[in-house]
Structure 1
Amino acid sequence: MADLFAGLEPTAPSPPPLDAPLADRLRPRTLAEVVGQEHLTGPDGAIGRMVAAGRLSSMILWGPPGTGKTTIARLLADAVGLRFAPISAVFSGVADLKKVFAEARDHARLGKRTLLFVDEIHRFNRAQQDGFLPYVEDGTVTLVGATTENPSFELNAALLSRAQVLILHRLGSAALEELIARAEAEVGRGLPLDNAARDALIASADGDGRFLLNQVETLFSVALDQPLDPAGLSAFLQRRVAVYDKDREGHYNLISALHKAIRGSDANAALYYLARMLTAGEEPLYLLRRLTRAAVEDVGLADPQALQQCLAAKEAYDFLGSPEGELAIAQACVYLATAPKSNAVYAAQKAAWRSARETGSLMPPANILNAPTKLMRDIGYGKGYEYDHDAEDAFSGANYWPDELPPQRYYQPTERGFEKRIAERMAWWDERRHAQPSRD
């Protein structure tokens, strides 16, 4: 049995060939060489402490692409002497998992435990995720899963309860600059960019170290007469496509940011998030629906024109299409962000709905009941109804609440925008209502 698995024992990684991709040649050989994740790999980080203790717990590495999840998992196995067994949830099925677990159990009998690295672990379905549990619990494998999606949404609660979730950060400018410096040292010359273009290259990576190194390798692969400026760099390199999945957490994070920037009256931030979604391919009509929701939830009657702006933007977009119609969406966005804010109607709706659920069987007062038949009139339906248009100021002051429910005050207008006038109107009606003689 020992001879059978001898070839599978981990060995010190050999240097990649000189013609290997730059990202492979620069792959960290130790955890100390990993950039941008010092909050995990440093002496006080969760990974640093586990390595110092020589004992790993199962974990989920959650972070954007190109932040070092696979590299960290491989280095963890080396650091504590575990066998490294990588699989991808994209290409693996039940048969592959059974084989991996069987091999891990055989190695465990020989005294060699396995670090099972599962890339894109969120792509396994719920039943497949449950299949990991007995092998994690009995120590057959130490599971290290990698995901770009929020584990709270994508992974089983049972699996999450047995694994520590560690969050990897997008690589910041300093970390990306360090990668460029390592690449320049590896190649033996500087990038053919001026300072502004170098900054633009780092910004275009959007925190993805792998993407950055691929772009750096492209720049090193050609001979340029003079350093590129930002315009020349943009023309030379392909434009990076925004990372954005319409049914994933990134989608909900951005729409939440857009809505809250509008609510917070920051027109420029709202435009930024609107642009992020539109340039990434979001459906414009979805954004128009969300803007319309913001109009009635967060602006409300403080500016009744906000709703009209959104509906007009939808009509304009239907008429013009993209990209011209997107200007109408931007106009509605700016209008909402700069409008006075009130959620008074939103709060009133929730209060009224709650009251209706609690008192849904109460009859309206008899004076406003419909009385289409003689029998209904005979038993008092509609008796005493006062037609408001016949009263002074077109206001009778009659009671419209069920006898068992005293008048409620759901809607509390603010003193902002048009609602200030509405508050004055309501006070005017209340004054006349209270001045009416008692009907007892």
Structure 2
Amino acid sequence: MKFDVIIIGSGLAGLTAGIRLAEAGKSCAIISNGQSALHFSSGSLDLLTHLPDGSLVTQPKKALAALAELAPKHPYSRMGETQVSTLIEQAQALLSSTKGLEYQGNGDENHYRITPVGRSRMSWMSPKRVPTHGVDQALPWKKLAVVGIEGFLDFQPQFASNTLNEQGVESIPYHIHLPLLDRLRDNPSEFRAVNIARYLDKPENTKALAEELKKHIDDSVEAIILPACIGLDAEEPVMLLQQLVGKPICLLPTLPPSLLGIRLHQALKLRFQKAGGLIMPGDRAEQVDLVGNKVTGIHTRNHTDIPIRSEHVVLATGSFFNNGLIAEFDRVYEPLMELDLLETLPRNEWTQKNVFAKQPYMRFGVDTDSQLRPMKYGEVLENVYAVGAVLGGFDPLNEGCGAGVSMISALYAAQQILQHNKSEQTTSAVVEAAQ
């Protein structure tokens, strides 16, 4: 099998790169080892919430210059302020034009989203159903109902309600009982957001949910907050519920598996496939063929003897969570190609005793040049691009930039590939004309 581009990893970074390249006419395949980390995410995306020195960032684009001074090896700094600003707009356009997704936010100014425990957390882009407010603004409602489902342990309305009350928003917690869910409720391992949504998304069950909500919630309540247990594949069930109840319906993500994260992953995956992209599910890249500084073939678990060939490779394997990086007792390494890491520290300096402190290992990742091409033994691999969480030089948790790095680096790598091919075509045309 031969493709223009092979992408290793089907998370946010891999799918973003795949969509950009496939829609530009490139034949692309994604090698997908398993479940995407998006299934464990809130569905909201962060771009940059803090600088490495801890300074709060409310306007990400304007903070890029300061970031470059403090962290010159941060992926944003490597790509450059101008490029990153442009790619932020492209990322937002990609999300807004993806069927089934409705997002709010932009890179000019962050916003706050309400978390499952009622706190405000800064974000770049959030699903429109998630309650949000501006940096210097309050929620648009004075009185809320926070509703939980009896027996559903992945969301506790009392926690969220108490926190919202502390912030000056009158919030009343409720638990509702839905007999239609009794069959699921009998098996706690099945009583999860995704399985509940499969029931509640049926129109007759959505109507039953609406009737139960109207029994408990009085007219003074301005909006209703529910756990994200409805609208798995589309927005229509939530719209129907809102119409029946007659009040705005907001959703909060639950413990994984997260419906909002799954919905984001499914929408991007479908868009990639509709553009002609191929996904190889349940497969894993295990070895590469190297000729000089170029990867010429990839051997996978399901295609051991016959390498998959491509002109370019995008490495979007993630960090420790996805085994894109491996930590042993005395070393951290990139398992597929043994690529150079940007930072290496003695074992006793990987972590700090205070679990809430910044952990040095969070910045571990692959070293690259300014085009995001990774290094191996100090030499650039000419046709490989590293994107997303596998990159080194940033702390996605404390800097609040994980999703942003994934999307921006993926778009940047796709841009390099497209420009490289365009340059080759121009060179070929010049040679042919000379002959």
State the TM-score, normalizing by the size of structure 2: 0.27
Identify which of structures 1 and 2 has the higher relative contact order when contacts are C-alpha pairs closer than 8 Å and 6+ apart: 2
Q: Which has the higher helix share?
A: 1
Pick the structure with greater CA Rg: 1
Q: Which has the higher strand share?
A: 2
State the TM-score, normalizing by the size of structure 1: 0.27
